[in-house]
Amino acid sequence: MTSLTGEREAYLAHVSVERGLSANTLAAYRRDLTRYVLFLEARDRDDLAAVTRTDVADFALAIGTGRDGGRPLAPASASRTVVAVRGWHRFALAEGWCTQDVSSDVKPRAVPQRLPKAISTDQVEAILEAASTGDGAAPLRDRALLELVYATGARISEAVGLDVDDLTLDEGQEAVLLRGKGRKERVVPIGGYAAREPSRLPGASPRSAGTGGVGTPALFLNTRGGRLSRQSAWVILKDASARAGVPDVSPHTLRHSFATHLLSGGADVRVVQELLGHASVTTTQIYTAVTQDALREVYATSHPRARG
């Protein structure tokens, strides 16, 4: 290993343990920093102590244009890459590998704010009904999965990662234990609809049909009795939304709709922040723009003197 490669591996090991990054995030960091290493090696930099501010600034520009020989990155991906690079340099300074942080002046690219897409409650209902179409255990599982995702705002990875013991169905105490980014736990209450559907799973899911799932702790199972994957859950939603005639729906659409519908119903933004598991309320506040747009539209079409 070169010095740069060794320093990269030390940093990745650090963030994996200290920050509890998911496997997907860690893989993205590795790709980002590997590209940075190749860029620096092309400039004959042997370790981070030899890197200059100009090197970092040039790299930040190169990844957006592809001048380094790699694929040009979209603003969001370029911003993530710069964040990874800055984190590595801060770590190097703390470890004593260098005497200054040459990345401190390089800022991530501004990412255009994209408002979350939310669908109406009628569209959600249509998707849930479509998910329960058919006979056997699969439609029960599919309806229960989508009901729970919409009822809790869970990320799809959080939902498929649920175990039976994470669900509390005692009357008046219905809730689910979700494990978010960095394995941070949060307990989210669930309503009657979402509580009723999972409660039907133990008697009808593949685990009771002799398919090899006996003894697995997973709440949502595939047809072989193993834990349902994120990809399979995505297909379940895609198929249900297609049958319901609701286009362009992704797993995050239900999460966005959960937040938007809560705020539209008068929920406090900090409560929604806790339910979504956002570390900062700033992340949650993007949903307030969605509800404000809806309010303005209603006002413009309903008030007799809204238009001069």
Question: Could you give the residue numbers annotated as active site?
Answer: 155, 181, 252, 255, 278, 287
The answer to whether residues 148 and 176 touch, using CB atoms and an 8 Å cutoff, is yes
Using DSSP, state whether 45 is helix, strand or coil. Answer: coil
State the pairing for strand pair 175-179/167-168: antiparallel
Strand partners, 147: none
Residue 180 token pair:
């978010």
d(CA 120, CA 142): 20
* 150: Cα separation from own chain's centroid: 14
Both tokens of 174, joined, read: 């219905």
Instruction: Using alpha carbons, list the distances in angstroms from residue 276 to 26, 157, 205.
Output: 22, 13, 28
Q: Which residues contact 242 (CB under 8 A, 6 or more apart)?
A: none
